[in-house]
Amino acid sequence: MILDLDVFIETERSFWDELQVMLKRQVKQPDRRLSMDEVRRFQYLYQRASADLVKINTFAGDVEIKAYLESLVARSYSQLHEQGDRHTRLSPLVWLWVTFPQTFRRHWRAFALSFGTFLVGSGFGAGMLASDYEIKSDLIPGQFGHLSGKPSERVSMEENQKFDYFEERQTFSATLMANNIKVSYMAMVMGFSYGVFTVIMMFYNGVLIGAIAFDYVADGQGVFLLAWLLPHGSIELPAIFIGGQAGLVLGRAMFGWGTNLRLRQRLRLIRADLITLIVGASLMMVWAGLIESFLSQYHGAALYPGKIIFGAIELAALILFLSLAGRKRAKGNL
Amino acid sequence: MALGKTSELKILTPEGVEFSLPLAGPLTRCVAWAFDLVVIVALFQLISQVLMILSLVSRDMSTALMVALQFVTLVGYGIFFEWFWRGQTLGKRIMSLQVIDERGLTLKLNQIILRNLFRVLDSLPMFYMVGGLACLFSARAQRLGDLAAGTLVIRRLVVAEPEIDELLEGNENSFQDYPRLQARLRQRVSPQEVRLAVDAVLRRNELSLEARLRVFEQLADFFRAKVEFPDEVTHGLSDEQYVRNVVATLFNRKMSK
């Protein structure tokens, strides 16, 4: 303790008070832009408080002054070292047409693995049902009760219903959106288990769809199945795969293959991509929810060709969008 | 507790200055979350009351909007407030907590979104058990969402300037006639030892008479061993007065009336 604390505090207090006032103002008005002079002054005061903290640590033992200065320096530090995106204008169109498809393509291997796992699951589900039809009730959970009976009976019932028997389409649509978006979130966050649970989720979804598809095709209801699933499924299933893709990107970052970066650094690198993928998947789920409620549930032989064509066009458009959108910009950035 | 668990985040700035931020524990965070839950439930109520009017026109549309808005509220509450209040929700504000970047920087939007989306995992199987356990066992009290997003929750303490003068009011510092010895004392005492002496003086009235005598006796002996003041100064000086002189010396207070 070789610092004259009285003199030190007396000299520095006015600077600390000034910094305190600037910090309080910034907290009260977070979006207020400082002028260049204010920024310079703020930086000067921050550096001065930092130097004072070093002096206190080195030459004096006052714990309370140290805590006070630490609090001041910590708050100033976080204000001064902003990471930049608070004042960046979000451009939804650029994000949709450039950022999202570019991010999707950057991680295409993770998408391929997600989709591939689903396909393997589908094959497994179909194979299981082909080998032993009795296990259908075990494969298809209770919540899909309308799928437990014979497909041709359900088709006949659906086709003979009055056109507007289903009176709560809007609620159904909102519920579908919320549930499906939750499923894609889950597929992503499960990537934290080094991707294991994401793979299991994709596989399980595949088993379910594979078993249902086999059941309908084996019963001669392939056209109904396509007309029922394709309009919304052509968007909903890829959205689930993209959720899985995000989960596998996260899983890979957890493993850290091919890099000597630490886990924190690896996660920092993929964070923006995860958000882009999951927000993209959520938007796709909103569209799929609308289509599933307002188009997919209308059945009738006359409607099937139109519904299948609509679903096929959607799928083609999605493939084109994800493979081509934002390519020019990507080249330009190189 | 996990090995190496810490209660504060130490940050070394590019200027070479080190400072620490106190980390929030699972219990404080849980209370903050309970406050947030109350707000979310209140928002749900508000939404349903407003949509009651719409249900007179279309019950289906009213229910659909209710489902959609409840979902948006559940997911968006944390994201909205943590973004606009720089790492604080209403509950965190009440509990003086704040989410920060693990390097002490301000949060990026993608960090806020990611830590909030991870709530679907952290809240499993119920009452945030996964997140609570992760928080309890992780070195820096992080739930899984914090680990993925690179965030921490700290206790936001605005420390007031200390009032040493008040503490030493009425104290006559007889050591002041020996500035060289005072300087030596300041040099030999560590910050933790200063803290100990200040705390003892601050809390002296909370102690029983016996404990008070014993504590100040031990402290006085401790500081006597650091620097020996002449008998003419220490003669007849109680242990407590001795320690108060030490504190006055360490803070370089000349004399109080």
DSSP assignment of B108-138 equals: PHHHHHHHHHTHHHHTTTTTTHHHHHHHHHS
User: Which whole-number Å values give the CA distances from A40 to A34, A47, A53, A54, in the listed order?
Assistant: 10, 11, 20, 21
Q: Which residue has the higher pLDDT, A146 or B158?
A: A146
pLDDT at B168: 64
pLDDT at A294: 87
Nearest to B251 among A54, A62, A264 (CB): A62
For chain A, the domain total comes to: 2
List the domain range (segments joined by +) for residue A13. Answer: 5-80
Residues A69 and A128 in one domain: no
Residues A12 and A120 in one domain: no
DSSP β-ladder status, B8-12 and B97-101: unpaired
Residue A236 lies in a domain: yes
pLDDT at B188: 83
Residue A138 lies in a domain: yes
Contacts of A251 (CB under 8 A, 6+ apart): A191, A192, A193, A194, A195, A196, A198
3-class SS of residue A186: helix
% of chain B surpassing 70 pLDDT: 89
| Residue range B84-96: mean pLDDT, rounded | 92
Which site among A43, A78, A262, A279 would you substitute to test the B interface, given the most B Cβ atoms closer than 10 Å to its Cβ? A78
Q: Which residues pair with B176 in a beta bridge?
A: none
Residue A265 lies in a domain: yes
**Partner-chain contact B190 A61, CB within 8 Å:** yes
Q: CA A292, CA A229: separation in Å to the nearest integer?
A: 8
A174 touches chain B (CB under 8 A): yes
State the smallest CA–CA distance between residue B31 and chain A in angstroms.
23
Q: Residue A267 in contact with residue B148, Cβ under 8 Å? A: yes
Q: CA A171, CA B46: separation in Å to the nearest integer?
A: 19
- Asked if the model's pLDDT at residue B247 lies above 70, the reply is yes
Which range among A64-73, A143-152, B74-83, B159-168 shows the weakest confidence by mean pLDDT? B159-168
How far does chain B reach from its first CA to its final CA, in angstroms?
50
**Partner-chain contact A83 B106, CB within 8 Å:** yes
- Asked if the model's pLDDT at residue A79 lies above 90, the reply is no
| Residue range B19-33: mean pLDDT, rounded | 89
Residue A69 lies in a domain: yes
Q: Residue A10 in contact with residue B254, Cβ under 8 Å? A: no
| Residue range B154-179: mean pLDDT, rounded | 70
Predicted confidence (pLDDT) per residue in B230-246, tens digit:
888 888 888 888 888 88
Q: CA A94, CA A113: separation in Å to the nearest integer?
A: 27
How many angstroms from the chain centroid is the CA of residue B44? 32
Q: CA A27, CA B85: separation in Å to the nearest integer?
A: 8
Residue A86 lies in a domain: no
Portion 151-170 of B in contact with A at CB < 8 A = 157-162
pLDDT at A162: 65
Helix (H) / strand (E) element for B98: namely strand B97-101
Residues A134 and A251 in one domain: yes
User: Phi-psi region for residue B235, left (φ > 0), alpha (ψ -120 to 50) or beta?
Assistant: beta
Total Cβ atoms within 10 A of residue B144: 22
Residues A191 and A287 in one domain: yes
Q: Which residue of A has its CA nearest to B193?
A: A61
Residues A73 and A96 in one domain: no
Residue A85 lies in a domain: no
Contacting residues of B for A79, CB less than 8 Å apart: 106
Residues A61 and A107 in one domain: no
Nearest to A20 by CA among B89, B20, B159, B164: B159
Please state the φ and ψ torsions of residue B99, each to the nearest 5 degrees.
-85, 130
% of chain B surpassing 90 pLDDT: 41
